[in-house]
Amino acid sequence: MYTRKIDEINGRTLSYLDFAGSGFPLVALHGHFGRNTMFSGLSEALGSEWRVIAIDQQGHGWSDPSGDYSRSSYIQDTVQLITKLDIGPVVLYGHSLGGVNAYQIAAQYPELVKAIIIEDIGAVANDDLSFILEWPERFPTVRSFRDFLKAKGFKDDTYFLESLTEYSDGWALRFKYQDMVLSQQLLNGDHWDDWLSSKCPALLLHGHKTWVMTTEHAREMATRRPNTELIEFPESGHTIRDDDPIGLYQAVKLFLNTLTF
């Protein structure tokens, strides 16, 4: 169970889900193309001991586009929401784009962050999402969308289906394609300084079959940053929670149980 809430942050609408937990706050940040509903399973796995708050990041889901998508813009959205809700320090969970946002917030605002959980993103980002510019804006049915993804080589459509929404003229994804391309371009770069400068406990989750980072890079991140635990998932790709949800949630719960409040 969750309540969808809308707040005004930085002059824009920011949507987030407040799950039914009453315990310590965990703020979850999805990746590109994602939505906050992706963390329903995490909230269910953690139970009422944790209050999971999952944000639709700018330009995704029910949150307004920013027209900016800079590092500082993403960071300020989450920082201002944490401050407005008066829930800091929090545990930050971030996948992909959300992972970089999480460890950069920990580096820049350590007083707001108790610990970080990073799902499959490195200290260096270098990706290109321009392939999506060739996709249709509308699909007549859900089946046609799933068939399209299959033809494009996607073996699992779970991730994209979270953002698929019905409109009067068909089905569409709840983000603008060009915005995603720009956002990734502004995410790309060397973020080692941010990764290494925070001191809070960190859990790094890495799937061996991901295209986003190498296993060597993940191990280097864990070795170079003190107070960091690395859990590897040999049969998982970039979205570990889709490929091995039981293993992922078990690793997260064990990590959270090591924290003191």
Q: Write down the pLDDT at residue 124.
A: 98
Residue 21 falls within a domain, yes or no? yes
Average pLDDT over residues 77-86: 97
Render pLDDT for 96-116 as a digit per residue (tens, 0 to 9).
999 999 999 999 999 999 999
Whether pLDDT at 150 is above 90: yes
Provide the token pair at 92.
């930050």
The rounded percent of the chain whose pLDDT value lies above 90 is: 93
φ and ψ of 98, to 5 deg: -65, -30
What's the domain range around 242? 2-126+176-256
Q: Where residue 188 sits, what CATH number does that domain have? A: 3.40.50.1820
Whether pLDDT at 1 is above 80: no
Q: Please tell me the number of Cα atoms within 13 Å of 43 on its side-chain side.
A: 23
Whether pLDDT at 164 is above 90: yes
Answer whether 0.85 is exceeded by the pTM.
yes
Residue 133 falls within a domain, yes or no? no
Residue 15 falls within a domain, yes or no? yes
Residue 169 falls within a domain, yes or no? no
- Specify the number of domains making up the chain: 1
Residue 54 falls within a domain, yes or no? yes
Residue 149 falls within a domain, yes or no? no
DSSP symbols for 25-47: EEEEE--TT--GGGGHHHHHHHG
Residue 148 falls within a domain, yes or no? no
**Alpha-helix runs per DSSP H in 86-212:** 97-108, 142-151, 158-161, 177-187, 192-197
Residue 143 falls within a domain, yes or no? no
